[in-house]
Each structure stands twice: as structure tokens, then as C-alpha cells.
Chain A
Amino acid sequence: MIYLILFLEFFKIGAFTFGGGYAMIPFIQETVIKHEWLSTAELVDFIAVSESTPGAFAVNISTYVGSQVGGFFGAVCATTGVVLPAFIIILIIAKIYDKFKNSKTVKGAMFGLKSVVVGLIAATVISIALEVFFASGLSVSVFTTTTFWFSLVVFALMLFLLLYKKLSPIIIIVLSATLGIAAGYIGII
């Protein structure tokens, strides 16, 4: 039965997330947390793995969760589930493309979807920020830990490099990992 659940949950994710990539994270997060397939920390770790390996994020995360929950066939079911909606919809659209392109309903829906995705990912930022800075719970004592300040410095530095130096995600991950390893062996974290 786990195969069917994996297939259906990832089918839903594939069918209702527009824009691809990070736009899919809020819905994926809700699903994996609900089923206790991954914790937020594990999800964040996997985003890094996915950025450092080839392929689309949605495909990678579905393969990973499927494999963790249901082995090889779990991975097949989850990946098929996430791919299938796009496959079917594109086949239909390839036939009626001109109508689709000029549809006022599609344009209206896109207005709403492009807006909502910003709010949803911003909400994800909050939960991931809580995980990064307050992994051991929300309390004042967090501010006295060097791990908190280390995370804050890495975060601020990487955000600067991304926004103003336009570094690629994979370089950001390699840099953050290197800083983490250095800080770990120095004994800061």
C-alpha cells in the first residue's frame, strides 16, 4: 500500500506545483512532514544534495523519498507519480497549443499562481530559518551559542554572494560546506 501512497502523493505534487524547482518546495515540505517521511532538516540537506547532482529537484526528491520509504519500487512509484501529470498535460497541450497560449482563463490562473508561489516560498523560508538558526528550540540561550552566529555569518555571506556576485548554487554549497568543515575542526560548531 505504501507504493500507492507514494505514487498518489507525488502525483499530487506533480499536478499542482507550477513553475518547477523551488516553487515545488512548500507542497513537498507539507507532504513529507505530514507522512513523517523526512524532517525539515533532512529536506534542507537534500536540497543541497539535489543542487549538487544532475536533474530536476522534483524528480530528485521523489526518487530519494521513495527510496527511503519503499526501497527501489518506492523510488519508481514516487518518481513516476511526480513525472506523470506533466507528461500527460504536455501531450494534450502539444495538440491544442495555440488555443492554450491565447486562453484568457489560463492567463488569469497564471496571475494567481505566479503571485501565490512567492508567498508560499517565503513561508518556507521561515520554517527553514527556524531549522537553521533554532534547531534546538526557540530560546534566548541560542544567541550565546557559536553555532548560531556561525550559521548567521555563513547565511549572510552566501546571500551576498548569490545576489550581488551571481555565484551558482553549486559553488554556494561547496563554499558553505567548506566553511562548515573548517568551523567544525576549529571547534566553533
Chain B
Amino acid sequence: MKKEKLKLYFQILLSFMKIGVVTFGGGYAMIPIIENETSTKRKWISGEDLLDVVAISESTPGPIAICAATFIGYKVAGIIGAFMATLGVVLPSFVIIYIISIFLKEFNTYDIVKYAFTGIRAGVLALIIKAVVSMFKKAPKHILAYTIMAIAFALVVIFSANVLVIILSSAVIGIVASIIARKRGKELK
């Protein structure tokens, strides 16, 4: 029994290390790979439950990969399972980035790297605008939502306001607005 448990923990660690190694860019790109490894191959979690995991990740703080690993690990083997899964998914990128962090500054002294990054910076700007577009599509279609976006944007750009305060205020505004909407017999969407 105990040996079986240890084997399961080890299996969870390995599976999530695999997920951590092959998912470039993180975020939603990880979902199909997580599905293949934990649902299709290992049968640890049903496809439907996995959809729930994604929904939870969206409404809880932190990276999606961490949320999914913790949730699936817990379902399969309790708190130790959650720990093994999270450790597994973090370990590959930790090792890779740690090694890169030692060399990146020296790389930057080469001309070829400087040229590459001049191009890359313009490309990253396009990547971030793409992120704004896709998050705008996922955001509520409501006059209050647009107002929150505009005010948050203005507060940061013009007044360099504290980001954490803005995030927390928007959550409070959302809660209050949904209570008011319900009192009027409507639903805030």
C-alpha cells in the first residue's frame, strides 16, 4: 500500500515535469497538454473536470499551470499529490531560467544579441497588444466594464497609480454592482 502511494507521488511528479518541459509560453497553451497527460493518458481527471479547473484558474489568482497542477494533484493524491504536481510543473522552468539568468547579461554584450533584441522588443509589443485584444473579447460587454477599463488605464498612464489598489477596487466595484443589479432583479454579465 505504502509502496503504491510512493509510486503514485513519483508518477505525478514525472507527469507534471513533462507538462512543465513541453509547454512554451505558458497560459492556455498548457491546457491541451495537461489534458493529454492527465486525462487521456493517466485517467486522473475527466475532461469535464478539467474544464472546471480552467474555470477555477480564471477566477483565482496565479498562473493557470499552477492552479491546474495543484487541483489535479490534490484530486489524485491529496495534499502531497498537490505538492508533487506543483513542484513538477515548476521545476523544469526554474532550472532553465536559472541557467539563463546566469548567462543572459553576458549574452547582451554581443552585437548579434543586441540586434536580435531590437527586433524582438517590437515583436513583444505586438504580442502584448494581441493579449489586450483577446482579454477585451473575454471581458464583460457592459458600460460599467468599459468604464472600469478606461479609468484603470488613465489612472496608471497619467497618475502612475498603484496597480494593486486598482485591482482590489475593481473587484469591490464588481461585487457592489452585482448586488445592486440583483436588487433591481437583473443579473450583471
**Per-residue 0/1 for B140-155: is the Cβ within 8 Å of any A Cβ (1 yes, 0 no)?**
1010111011111100
Q: Given the complex, which residues of B lie within 8 Å of A87, measured CB to CB?
A: 62, 66, 70, 82-83, 86
Asked if A8 is at the interface of the complex by the 8 Å CB criterion, the answer is no
Q: Contact check: which of B23, B52, B89, B116 meets A180 at CB < 8 Å? A: B116
Contacts of B174 in A (CB 8 A): 108-113, 115
Least CB distance from A156 to B in Å reads: 8
Q: Which residues of B contact A44 (CB under 8 A)?
A: 120-121, 124-125
Q: Which residues from chain A contact B176 at a C-beta distance below 8 Å? A: 108
Flag if B62 contacts A100 (CB, 8 Å): no
Cα of A54 to Cα of B64 in the assembled complex, Å: 14
B162 at the A/B interface (Cβ < 8 Å)? yes
Contacting pair B132 A55 (CB below 8 A): no
Minimal beta-carbon separation of A26 from chain B (angstroms): 5
Does any Cβ of A come within 8 Å of B59's Cβ?
yes
Minimum-distance CB pairs A-B, first 7: A180-B119, A55-B93, A86-B62, A112-B174, A184-B115, A176-B123, A108-B178
Chain A residues with a Cβ under 8 A of chain B: 12, 14-27, 30, 41, 44-45, 47-60, 63-64, 67-68, 72, 75, 79, 82-83, 85-87, 89-91, 93-94, 97, 100-101, 104-129, 131-132, 147, 150-152, 154-155, 158-159, 161-163, 168-170, 172-173, 175-181, 183-185, 189
Of the A-B pairs whose beta carbons lie under 8 Å apart in the complex, a sample of 19, sorted by A's number, is A20-B27, A20-B62, A51-B127, A59-B66, A59-B93, A63-B101, A64-B101, A86-B60, A100-B59, A111-B189, A112-B174, A114-B135, A128-B124, A128-B125, A129-B125, A172-B126, A175-B123, A177-B120, A184-B111
